[in-house]
Structure 1
């Protein structure tokens, strides 16, 4: 899987992205990452690597469209979002990040007890 991902991702250039809107979900708080188009290319390459390595397409949760994001926190209990939204707001001050690699992780254990271990790193080496 790592070899396939490295081969496919090497053709893609690094991405300068911006952390923006704070996303609230009943089970998590995340930050949206823009622009979405180059991040979708990265995701598509990873899905192609999954198919190449396993012979099966990877499956994602739910029917909704994927939103590039960085998760900040998970919640284990139901609670009102109001105080959290009041404290954090809806938007971060603009902050750019560089995405120049993808880390492949092995995820073990059931949901909420995830145990992730890095397996390797695939660099984005293409030219902008």
Structure 2
């Protein structure tokens, strides 16, 4: 288990390649239609709401980051579709896992819920990385295979400072854990604006089902 951070730092620095208005293809797990999970997150967010320096994430934009593909202006739509189709073929062979979300972890730049167990999330990511390699070759798969730490963020840090107030606020609430079954992974067009990540769904790939559900995209 990753130990809680002792110091917090601003999440909203510009990563390489990012700039206002630029979009990024990436795979996420998303959590629409999960009221029990939303209630759990609301409990923790309410405990944090009085603290300065945190951006609470609206339920519509909750996500578990999986695997980047590339900036939309650098990846052709045909390649994006090919990667989605390859991912569907691989993810269809995986069971739909049930994950438990319980107590948050304090990361340097975010307050997040780690999924338990983490292994199925790693298996999904490995399948997606293999799908990218199917299309582009193993040497062009973005990001590192190692070091991935799956987490579902409920707040981002916007001010540097000690983590003690966050830890104290979270320890004051003890909601019951929640289970969520993951049926799909989503390839999305991600945008960062106004201290929030928003997206348009490009395609979803189902676990244990043999279809790809296309969503109109610009």
Band the TM-score falls in, shorter-chain normalisation: 0.7 to 0.9
Match of 1:96 in 2: 179
Change (3 A) 1:107 1:24: same
Match of 1:27 in 2: 109
Structure 1 residue 106 displacement after superposition: 2.2
Within 1, Cα distance between the matches of 2:169 and 2:197? 28
Match of 1:66 in 2: 148
> Aligned-residue CA RMSD in angstroms?
2.6
Alpha-carbon contact 1:22-1:91 (below 8 Å) kept: no
Within 1, Cα distance between the matches of 2:117 and 2:164? 28
Alpha-carbon contact 2:103-2:177 (below 8 Å) kept: no
SS at match of 2:141: coil
**How many pairs are equivalent?**
123
Q: Which has the larger radius of gyration?
A: 2
Choose 3-12 or 79-88, whichever is displaced more: 79-88
Within 2, Cα distance between the matches of 1:30 and 1:73? 7
Match of 1:107 in 2: 190
Within 1, Cα distance between the matches of 2:88 and 2:174? 34
Change (3 A) 1:98 1:113: closer
User: Do structure 1's residue 8 and structure 2's residue 76 form an aligned pair?
Assistant: no
SS at match of 1:102: strand
Q: Which has the higher contact order (CA 8 A, sep 6+)?
A: 1
SS at match of 1:33: coil
Structure 1 residue 91 displacement after superposition: 7.1
Match of 1:53 in 2: 135
Alpha-carbon contact 1:104-1:120 (below 8 Å) kept: yes
Within 1, Cα distance between the matches of 2:191 and 2:153? 19
Deviation string 1:18-51 (CA, Å, 9 cap, x unpaired) is 0133111121111010112222111100111122
What is the TM-score of this pair, normalised by structure 2? 0.50
